[in-house]
Structure 1
């Protein structure tokens, strides 16, 4: 792999910056939209009277950003031409997501809602890869434009990373299915029209086969959103769900009956590499801001930048960012060329190290900025609170390490012992 970025990609980043500066930044600054990004951000974004879920004004602003990005040809960049996209590669998307995060907080790329001028559409990719023609017709365009929203229901009250041990069950009932169980941290249900519910349909706990994914309308009888969990970074869209004899037709199955784990793995792969790229970008933003602060801040007659106690932690973080950036880009380049399962361990390495990196960088930025770094007038507490989530979701640190170990020792992956 040539480590230098193609000229065309560099030019695309410059055009993207121009679009943000001329179309999105003015939108962020008009009226009182700044309240969603300055020291008031968490409070302005959260609807306290609606269980801590995103405020309608906040989501309306995100929707307008997405509309403008779509009209300009950016939103669908990473989707295939069949979905109106440009067929952007995994490497393109990794570089772009890092670039957007390195710009800092803003309407152009607010990862709290997975909202970006260059969209991340893991569920659209699921429909394109696993959906029937009818499902693609019904959902793809509407999910992109926001007319429909599909939540993701895998985690349960008794099961998180151990996804093959689901307690939620689905049994056939004539041509239909009946689903009973519960979900936790079911993301997106505050505004979803459907929930992608994973349930065991055959086999025993721990079996990879026998889990099936169902598209469940949220207004189906027996489907209940009990409440939303309030989280470290608010607002929340993580619901607790109860399903009591929820009936869906056979056409609600997404993918193969019993093959739902393939969908879940596809979903997390799409997210893990892009989260890693965003983590590198956000970490670099924290490092760069800290270096600037250290050069400007004078204490005891000298800039902080003159002190090794300040220099060395930032040097270590800057070095780590360079290493992880190279790993992320190389892995994204490989994802464009080989089946994803062959390098799943590499994706796990990217996700694990990048998530650690950005949390460490945000923490150090707070330290360098002193009391100001601890305030909400600086972005570092928000960056930390957001990215700390990724050390748990899409596979915790421990799950990433387990994946890497499985490939390393021959317990899993293409070199698995027979």
Structure 2
């Protein structure tokens, strides 16, 4: 792993930053307040190939890896346009489909995911089981050549803009009689599929939904890939999810820090910019240090994933997600403190970021569960749950 990104990725970052700069935080906030999605930005990013940089070239993508896609999301977020759907559609669903989908499934879904013309949401979390794949109650049963799916999901992002949802359920193992994980591609217009919005205090263009699957009948090829590799498929999508979550959080932290630094350089009290005072300078400098450390771990996790080291990537992806979530929350908090009353004024857009910055500590996995993982797998301590 090089500590200097390849020239191609640096050029990709610059190009994405240029695109995102055309839209910016004002566009993001306006769309969020309208209850609308970032449709124009998403469509343009798709046309330019940025949404599919990790999708194989044979399916219209750039043939790159999660390192490249994470760079795209970080730059969008740094410009004030973070979107969870990049974590979900090209990263989780695109990765799982590329690695495990049948030839027909890859041909059906990947070109649209790469261009942004197709969006696939991801549904694992349930009201009682959370994201514990061994406790999920959503089940698929065979009925002739079809599958019939029943269950509930909660806090599923972007169903309103999605064409389909990759649903994590369980099926019966014919050999053991036990339930095993399985992934189903469910069109959002399928009979028996219902999505209800979850009212949130968070102002975001990425809306949350509760899903109700009531005898949703699906064709046999709706089951993704090999029925015996469901658990492997699931975990193949979770490392990219954490890496992309870290990229979104570090980009958002950059955005907050940039706003705070610009204000601290311009705002003068008693004849000197407020940034000259250590009471503000030191906390901002600390955020900068922690931000660069989080970015390095995110890049390491992406590098390990792209080179096929799933075990190493799992540890680093969790650590990156933890570090990025922490520094994002700290960056926004310190930015608000630096701006004082202006930090809560709509003109500066930081007040709404207070709520959204907490997401990095909660989703897609809480910092407490990450610490459980590190304690058990990195330190070899006894399992606590």
TM-score over 0.5 for the pair:
yes
- Cα distance between partner residues in 1 of 2:117 and 2:16: 26
Contact 2:164 2:186 survives alignment (8 Å): yes
- In the alignment, the residues of structure 1 paired with residue 295 and residue 171 of structure 2 have an alpha-carbon distance, to the nearest angstrom, of 41
Q: 2:33 matched to 1:43? A: yes
CA deviation after TM superposition for structure 1 residue 301, in Å: 4.2
**Does structure 1 residue 233 correspond to structure 2 residue 203?**
yes
For residue 215 of structure 1, report the CA deviation from its aligned partner: 1.7
Residue 271 (structure 1) aligns with = 241
Task: Give, in angstroms, the shift of residue 394 of structure 1.
Answer: 1.9
The separation in 2 between residues aligned to 1:61 and 1:395, in whole angstroms, is 30
Structure 1 residue 270: Cα displacement? 1.4
Q: Specify whether residues 16 and 213 from structure 1 end up closer, same or farther in structure 2 by C-alpha distance, changes over 3 A only.
A: closer
1:202 offset after TM fit, Å? Answer: 3.1
Partner of 1:173: 143
Any idea what the Cα deviations from partners look like across 1:324-346, whole Å, max 9, x if unmatched? Answer: 22222222222222322333111
Match of 2:63 in 1: 87
Among 358, 367, 373, which residue is 1:397 paired with?
367
For 2:264 and 2:279, locate their aligned partners in 1 and report how far apart those are by CA, in whole Å: 11
Q: Secondary structure at the match of 1:324?
A: helix
Partner of residue 158, structure 1: 128
Change (3 A) 1:273 1:227: closer
Aligned counterparts, 1:207-226, within 5 A: 210-226=180-196
SS at match of 1:245: strand
Helix, strand or coil: the match of 2:322? helix
My pick for the range that moved more, 130-139 or 289-298, is 289-298
Distance 2:102 2:230 in 1: 15
For 1:45-84, what aligned pairs fall within 5 Å after superposition? 46=35, 54=36, 58-66=37-45, 69-70=46-47, 72-84=48-60
How large is the Cα RMSD of the aligned pairs? 3.1
Q: 1:340 to 1:173 in 2, by over 3 A?
A: same
Give, in angstroms, the shift of residue 284 of structure 1: 2.5
Please show how residues 236-315 of structure 1 align to structure 2 within 5 Å.
236-315=206-285
Match of 2:5 in 1: 5
- Does structure 1 retain, via aligned residues, the 8 Å contact 2:153–2:211? yes
Deviations 1:152-193 (A, max 9, x none): 221111121323201222222232222222111222322333
1:211-256 Cα distance to aligned partner (Å, 9 max, x none): 1111223333322224444341334532112222222232111133
- CA displacement, residues 323-378 of structure 1 (integer Å, 9 cap, x when unaligned): 22222222222222232233311110000110110111011101100111112211
2:94 to 124, 127, 151: 124
1:111 aligned to 83, 91, 95, which one?
83
| Aligned residue in 2 for 1:331 | 301
Give ranges in structure 2 of 5+ residues lacking alignment: none
Equivalent residue for 2:347, pick from 354, 377, 389: 377
Separation of aligned partners in 1, 2:103 and 2:171: 23
Distance (whole Å) between structure 1 residues aligned to residue 26 and residue 323 of structure 2: 32
Query: For 1:183, what is the secondary structure of its paired residue?
Result: strand
Structure 1 residue 400: Cα displacement: 1.6
Q: Provide Cα deviations, 1:43-86, integer angstroms capped at 9, x if missing partner.
A: 23x1xxxxxxx3xxx454235423xx52x444422322112222
When normalised by structure 2's length, the TM-score is 0.86
Alpha-carbon contact 1:210-1:259 (below 8 Å) kept: no
